[in-house]
Amino acid sequence: MPAPKLHADRDPDFVYVIYIAASPQKIWDALTDNQTERAWWAHTRQDSTFQAGDPILYRRAGNIDISGEILEREEPNRLVYTFQSYGPGPQHDEGPSIVTYEIQANGNSTMLKVTHSNFPADSRTRKSIQNGWPAILSGLKTVLEGGKAPEYANWGEGEAKAAQARAAREKAAQQ
Protein backbone atom coordinates (compact mmCIF):
# COMPACT_ATOMS: atom_id res chain seq x y z
CA MET A 1 0.00 0.00 0.00
CA PRO A 2 1.65 3.26 -1.08
CA ALA A 3 1.61 6.17 1.36
CA PRO A 4 -0.70 9.03 0.37
CA LYS A 5 0.65 11.98 -1.54
CA LEU A 6 2.09 14.56 0.84
CA HIS A 7 0.70 18.09 0.88
CA ALA A 8 3.25 20.52 -0.54
CA ASP A 9 2.40 23.17 2.06
CA ARG A 10 1.94 21.43 5.39
CA ASP A 11 1.16 22.24 9.02
CA PRO A 12 3.76 20.88 11.45
CA ASP A 13 3.57 17.24 12.47
CA PHE A 14 1.92 16.53 15.81
CA VAL A 15 4.21 14.48 18.07
CA TYR A 16 3.26 13.11 21.48
CA VAL A 17 5.43 10.90 23.68
CA ILE A 18 4.15 9.06 26.74
CA TYR A 19 5.72 6.47 29.05
CA ILE A 20 3.57 3.62 30.32
CA ALA A 21 4.28 0.98 32.98
CA ALA A 22 3.31 -1.90 30.67
CA SER A 23 5.11 -4.09 28.14
CA PRO A 24 5.36 -3.12 24.46
CA GLN A 25 3.08 -6.09 23.68
CA LYS A 26 0.35 -4.86 26.08
CA ILE A 27 0.44 -1.43 24.44
CA TRP A 28 0.35 -2.97 20.97
CA ASP A 29 -2.61 -5.15 21.97
CA ALA A 30 -4.54 -2.13 23.27
CA LEU A 31 -3.82 -0.03 20.18
CA THR A 32 -4.87 -2.87 17.85
CA ASP A 33 -7.89 -3.98 19.88
CA ASN A 34 -10.66 -4.70 17.36
CA GLN A 35 -13.06 -6.35 19.80
CA THR A 36 -14.16 -3.79 22.35
CA GLU A 37 -15.64 -0.29 22.54
CA ARG A 38 -12.72 1.48 24.12
CA ALA A 39 -13.73 3.90 26.86
CA TRP A 40 -10.23 5.42 26.76
CA TRP A 41 -10.66 6.30 23.07
CA ALA A 42 -13.90 8.24 23.23
CA HIS A 43 -15.86 4.97 23.16
CA THR A 44 -14.77 4.03 19.67
CA ARG A 45 -14.50 0.56 18.25
CA GLN A 46 -11.88 -0.22 15.59
CA ASP A 47 -12.60 -2.45 12.63
CA SER A 48 -9.38 -3.72 11.11
CA THR A 49 -7.20 -6.78 10.76
CA PHE A 50 -4.24 -4.40 11.20
CA GLN A 51 -2.49 -6.11 8.29
CA ALA A 52 -0.72 -3.86 5.78
CA GLY A 53 -3.06 -2.96 2.94
CA ASP A 54 -6.24 -3.61 4.91
CA PRO A 55 -8.76 -0.91 5.84
CA ILE A 56 -9.29 0.56 9.30
CA LEU A 57 -12.53 2.15 10.48
CA TYR A 58 -13.32 3.89 13.75
CA ARG A 59 -16.93 3.48 14.78
CA ARG A 60 -18.52 5.60 17.46
CA ALA A 61 -22.13 5.35 18.52
CA GLY A 62 -22.76 3.19 15.47
CA ASN A 63 -21.37 5.71 13.01
CA ILE A 64 -18.07 5.69 11.18
CA ASP A 65 -15.85 8.51 12.44
CA ILE A 66 -12.54 7.89 10.72
CA SER A 67 -11.40 5.67 7.89
CA GLY A 68 -7.97 4.73 6.67
CA GLU A 69 -5.65 1.96 5.55
CA ILE A 70 -2.84 0.15 7.30
CA LEU A 71 0.48 1.08 5.66
CA GLU A 72 3.05 -0.69 7.86
CA ARG A 73 2.89 -3.21 10.66
CA GLU A 74 5.78 -4.43 12.75
CA GLU A 75 4.38 -6.02 15.90
CA PRO A 76 4.86 -4.89 18.67
CA ASN A 77 6.97 -1.85 17.75
CA ARG A 78 5.48 0.04 14.85
CA LEU A 79 2.17 0.64 13.14
CA VAL A 80 1.49 3.18 10.39
CA TYR A 81 -1.94 3.95 8.95
CA THR A 82 -3.77 6.66 7.10
CA PHE A 83 -6.42 8.67 8.93
CA GLN A 84 -9.25 10.60 7.31
CA SER A 85 -12.48 11.96 8.74
CA TYR A 86 -15.39 10.12 7.25
CA GLY A 87 -17.10 12.40 4.78
CA PRO A 88 -18.57 14.64 3.80
CA GLY A 89 -17.09 17.72 5.42
CA PRO A 90 -14.10 20.06 5.50
CA GLN A 91 -11.94 17.67 7.54
CA HIS A 92 -12.67 14.86 5.08
CA ASP A 93 -11.73 17.17 2.22
CA GLU A 94 -8.24 17.63 3.71
CA GLY A 95 -7.47 14.09 2.55
CA PRO A 96 -5.67 11.33 4.42
CA SER A 97 -3.19 12.23 7.14
CA ILE A 98 -0.75 9.64 8.51
CA VAL A 99 -0.55 8.20 12.04
CA THR A 100 2.61 6.41 13.19
CA TYR A 101 2.90 4.53 16.48
CA GLU A 102 6.39 3.71 17.73
CA ILE A 103 6.61 1.48 20.80
CA GLN A 104 9.97 0.94 22.52
CA ALA A 105 10.91 -0.64 25.84
CA ASN A 106 12.55 1.96 28.09
CA GLY A 107 13.86 0.55 31.36
CA ASN A 108 10.93 -0.57 33.46
CA SER A 109 8.38 1.21 31.31
CA THR A 110 7.63 1.57 27.61
CA MET A 111 7.78 4.66 25.45
CA LEU A 112 4.91 5.21 23.05
CA LYS A 113 5.45 7.91 20.47
CA VAL A 114 2.58 9.01 18.26
CA THR A 115 3.41 11.09 15.20
CA HIS A 116 0.48 12.45 13.22
CA SER A 117 1.60 14.02 9.95
CA ASN A 118 0.57 15.25 6.51
CA PHE A 119 -1.82 18.07 7.37
CA PRO A 120 -2.45 20.80 4.80
CA ALA A 121 -1.74 24.39 5.86
CA ASP A 122 -4.30 25.72 8.41
CA SER A 123 -5.64 22.21 8.85
CA ARG A 124 -8.88 21.74 10.79
CA THR A 125 -7.97 18.12 11.35
CA ARG A 126 -4.75 19.09 13.11
CA LYS A 127 -6.61 21.48 15.43
CA SER A 128 -8.93 18.65 16.37
CA ILE A 129 -6.35 15.89 16.86
CA GLN A 130 -3.95 18.01 18.91
CA ASN A 131 -6.57 18.06 21.67
CA GLY A 132 -7.68 14.48 21.11
CA TRP A 133 -4.37 12.60 21.32
CA PRO A 134 -3.36 13.80 24.81
CA ALA A 135 -6.78 12.83 26.19
CA ILE A 136 -6.77 9.44 24.44
CA LEU A 137 -3.20 8.52 25.34
CA SER A 138 -3.60 9.69 28.95
CA GLY A 139 -6.60 7.35 29.18
CA LEU A 140 -4.65 4.49 27.60
CA LYS A 141 -1.92 4.89 30.22
CA THR A 142 -4.47 4.94 33.04
CA VAL A 143 -6.13 1.76 31.80
CA LEU A 144 -2.89 -0.16 31.18
CA GLU A 145 -1.66 0.78 34.65
CA GLY A 146 -4.78 -0.74 36.21
CA GLY A 147 -7.15 2.23 36.44
CA LYS A 148 -10.50 3.14 34.95
CA ALA A 149 -10.56 5.30 31.82
CA PRO A 150 -11.38 8.93 32.58
CA GLU A 151 -14.61 10.36 31.17
CA TYR A 152 -13.70 13.77 29.86
CA ALA A 153 -16.10 16.66 29.75
CA ASN A 154 -14.36 17.82 26.59
CA TRP A 155 -13.98 14.94 24.18
CA GLY A 156 -15.07 17.51 21.63
CA GLU A 157 -18.08 18.07 19.49
CA GLY A 158 -17.98 14.64 17.97
CA GLU A 159 -18.08 13.05 21.39
CA ALA A 160 -20.88 15.34 22.56
CA LYS A 161 -23.00 14.23 19.59
CA ALA A 162 -22.08 10.61 20.16
CA ALA A 163 -22.95 10.90 23.85
CA GLN A 164 -26.35 12.34 22.91
CA ALA A 165 -26.87 9.45 20.51
CA ARG A 166 -25.90 6.93 23.21
CA ALA A 167 -28.28 8.54 25.69
CA ALA A 168 -31.10 8.51 23.13
CA ARG A 169 -30.49 4.82 22.38
CA GLU A 170 -30.51 3.96 26.07
CA LYS A 171 -33.73 5.89 26.55
CA ALA A 172 -35.30 4.12 23.58
CA ALA A 173 -34.17 0.74 24.93
CA GLN A 174 -35.84 1.47 28.26
CA GLN A 175 -39.18 2.33 26.67
Partner 1 sequence: MTGSKFVYITYTRTTPEKLWAALIEPEFTRQYWANTHQVSDWKPGAEWKVMIPDGRVGDSGKVVEFDPPKRLVLTWQNQFMPELKAEGHSRLTYELEPAGSAVKLTLTHEMDKPESKLIGAVSNGWPHILASLKSLLETGESLVESRAWPKGV
State which H helix or E strand residue 43 sits in: none
Decide if residue 42 touches partner 1 (CB under 8 A).
no
Position among 21, 121, 167, 168 found at the interface with partner 1 (CB under 8 A): 21
Decide if residue 19 touches partner 1 (CB under 8 A).
yes
Interactions with partner 1, residue window 88-127 (CB under 8 A): 106-109
The identity of residue 166, as a single letter, is R
Decide if residue 2 touches partner 1 (CB under 8 A).
no
Query: Rg of the Cα trace of the chain?
Result: 16
State which H helix or E strand residue 126 sits in: helix 124-144
**CA distances in angstroms from 111 to 21, 108, 140, listed in the order given:** 9, 10, 13
For residue 134, give the nearest of 117, 155, 118, 119 by alpha carbon.
155
Segment lying near partner 1 (by CB under 8 A), choices 44-52, 55-63, 119-127, 128-136: 128-136
Decide if residue 160 touches partner 1 (CB under 8 A).
no
Q: Which is nearer to partner 1, 34 or 106 (CB)?
A: 106
For residue 51, give the nearest of 34, 64, 65 by alpha carbon.
34
Position among 23, 48, 100, 142 found at the interface with partner 1 (CB under 8 A): 142
| Positions in the binding site for partner 1 (CB under 8 A) | 16-21, 106-109, 131, 134-135, 138-139, 141-142, 145-148, 150-154
